[in-house]
Structure 1
Amino acid sequence: MAAAGLFAVCLSSAYPAHAFLARPALFAAIGGATRAPTGWVQFCAENAEECRPLADQARDVVLTPELLQQLYQINKYVNDRVQWTSDPDLYGKAERWTYPLDRGDCEDIVLLKRRLLAKAGWPQGALLITTVEERGANKGRHAVLTVRSDRGEMILDNQTPEILFWYETNYRYLSRQSVTDPNIWVSFGAEQPRPDTVPAEHQFTR
Structure 2
Amino acid sequence: MNTNKKGLGTALFGALIALALLAIPAQALDTNNAAFVQTLSGTTSIPVGHAQFCQQRPSECRANAQLVPAVALNEALWQQLLTVNAHVNGTVVPVTDQDLYRVNEFWTYPNGYGDCEDYALAKRRELINAGWPASTLLIAVVKQANGEGHAVLIARTDRGDLVLDNQIGSVDLWNATPYKFIKRQSQANAGQWVDMIDNREVVFATAGIN
Please tell me the TM-score bracket, short chain as reference. 0.7 to 0.9
Deviation at 1:179?
A: 1.0
The answer to whether residue 31 in structure 2 is matched with residue 30 in structure 1 is no
Q: Is the 8 A contact 1:57 1:181 kept in 2?
A: no
Normalized against structure 1, the TM-score is what? 0.82
Q: Is the 8 A contact 1:25 1:150 kept in 2?
A: no
The answer to whether residue 149 in structure 2 is matched with residue 141 in structure 1 is yes
Normalized against structure 2, the TM-score is what? 0.81
The answer to whether residue 158 in structure 2 is matched with residue 150 in structure 1 is yes
Could you list the per-position Cα deviations for residues 41-90 of structure 1 after superposition, in whole angstroms to 9, with x for gaps in the alignment? Answer: 10010011111223224353100000000000000000001111111111
Q: Is the 8 A contact 2:35 2:160 kept in 1?
A: yes
Correspondence for 2:122 among 112, 118, 124: 112
Q: Distance in 2 between matches of 1:43 and 1:106?
A: 14
**SS of the counterpart of 1:63?**
coil
Show the 5 A alignment for 1:26-105. Answer: 26-32=35-41, 33-105=43-115
Q: Which runs of 5+ in 1 are unaligned?
A: 1-10
Deviation at 1:18?
A: 4.7
Task: Supply the RMSD in Å over aligned alpha carbons.
Answer: 2.6
Q: Distance in 2 between matches of 1:173 and 1:17?
A: 20
What one-letter code is carried by the residue in structure 2 that aligns with 1:178? S
With over 3 angstroms needed to count, the CA separation of the structure-2 counterparts of 1:92 and 1:190, relative to structure 1, is closer
Residue in 1 that maps onto 2:28: none
Residue in 2 that maps onto 1:189: 197
With over 3 angstroms needed to count, the CA separation of the structure-2 counterparts of 1:44 and 1:65, relative to structure 1, is same
Q: Which runs of 5+ in 2 are unaligned?
A: 1-10, 25-32
Q: Distance in 2 between matches of 1:17 and 1:173?
A: 20
Q: Distance in 2 between matches of 1:19 and 1:189?
A: 26
Identity of aligned residues (%): 40
Deviation at 1:173?
A: 0.7
